[in-house]
Every structure is written in structure tokens, then in C-alpha cells.
Structure 1
Amino acid sequence: MIEFEHLHHVSLAVRELERARKFYSEVLGLKEIQRPPFDSKGIWYAVGPQQLHLLENPAGDTLRESGISTIDGHFAVWVKSYSATIAWLEAASISYEARPDSRAGFAQIFVLDPDHNIIEFDSAYGS
């Protein structure tokens, strides 16, 4: 039996690394961390104790084209405040799908990055 400890990182493919950096660094405010000198192009971010790895794939052959679908692959980040996250997204003119009374047992907000990767922000109801 495998003894799991925690999720270490999530990797996402992006078409243009600098466009992705602008979104994740400047718009979402994630902190970039050092990445080993791999042959591929990429950026690593700290998301609490876990990491988000962006990997440039200019061909885009593994990237989705459609809008938000909650049954498609995505990653989720727990946030302190649902209302503050909504306000931040609106101030940054980022379209989102809000589910304040989700059946999941917590509030959910879904957004797309520039390459249509789905990001879910979760928080306690009424936060």
C-alpha cells in the first residue's frame, strides 16, 4: 500500500509562458519560486505549501479550447474569503462562475486562465 503524505504540485500546460506569467503573477498574485534548469520552459509558483508548475507547450495539442466545465480537469485553491475573492476578480475584470451555495458543502468560484485551464477557488459558506 502506498502511504500518501500530501499533494506536492499540479502542472498545467500553457501556450505562451510570458502571457501565463502575467496572469498568475500579476493578476492572481502568486509567488514565483525557483525552478531547476530543465530543457523545457516553465514557471513554478508556491501555493501555500504546495506548488503550481506551468509548462510551455506552444503546439497547444493538449490544451482545451472550451469554457468552464466543472467535470473537466482543474485545480482548486482554498481561499479565506469568498466575497473578497469575487471583489478581486471583478476588479481585475476576470470572468467567473460563482456558486455561493454549492452542493459541494462549500462555496465555489470558477475561472479560466488565458489557456482555458480551469481554476477553482473554494471557501466556507458566507465568508
Structure 2
Amino acid sequence: MRSHMPGQIKTKQINHVTTMVKDTARAMKFYNELLGIKQIESQVPNPEITWLQLDNGIMVHLIETEEAPVKPENTHHAFEVEDFEGTMKILEENGYEISRHGVRYDGQGFMFTHDPDGNRVEFCTGSGYFPAPGRPD
């Protein structure tokens, strides 16, 4: 692994957090009706993920699974970064494998890697960073 200086990747903010739930309707009574977090349109073709968003733009993704509360491959932090391509290069140069990457329907670029303890970490752009791919019919 290459040596690196702190702050090579310019992290702007938390983009979203994920929460595993067994029953989305029940979870929505808490997150949407009680906490007031608004549901927004999903940006991925997965009906098991419900997208919510706070007024400040930070999102909460509810992922319905029988393995709730924890399904390790879905639990992660998502950091919004200034330089998406530069972040990918820095991660790879420092020995971190990019396990998956792409562009969501809103033009948000994303990539996943793992921290040294095996925790899944996502780095992403804001919406509209890339041309948005078409939604499937």
C-alpha cells in the first residue's frame, strides 16, 4: 500500500445512510410519518430499497430484508466527494479494490470499496454529475 497524506480525498459530506428493515411499511411509519423524512423517487432498479431524504439533502435508504437488522453487504457509509475519478485513482493507488461502480438514474456516480477492517464504504458524487442513464421501461 502506498503511503498517503491525510486529506488526499476531499470528502464533502455524508450523502446517505442505509438501514436494514424487515417491513418497509412499518419502518415508514417511523422514518416518514414520525420523523418526517420525505420519500423520494428511487434511483436504482431495486424495489427492496425505499429512498428518503432530509431537507438538507442527506438521504436514508431503507432496505427490506429478512436479514434485518444487519446484512453486511448493504450496511455502509456513503461519502460525497469533489473529484470522483481522482478518488477512484487514489483508492486504487493505495491498494483498495473498487468492488462495484456505476451511475444511478439521477446521474450520481458511485463506487464501493472496503476499509481495512472489511467494512463496505461508498464514495459518490452529487446528483447530475454524469449524464443520467435512461430508466428501464
Do the structures match in fold with TM over 0.5?
Answer: no
Please, what TM-score do these two structures have when normalized by structure 2?
A: 0.41
Please, what TM-score do these two structures have when normalized by structure 1?
A: 0.44
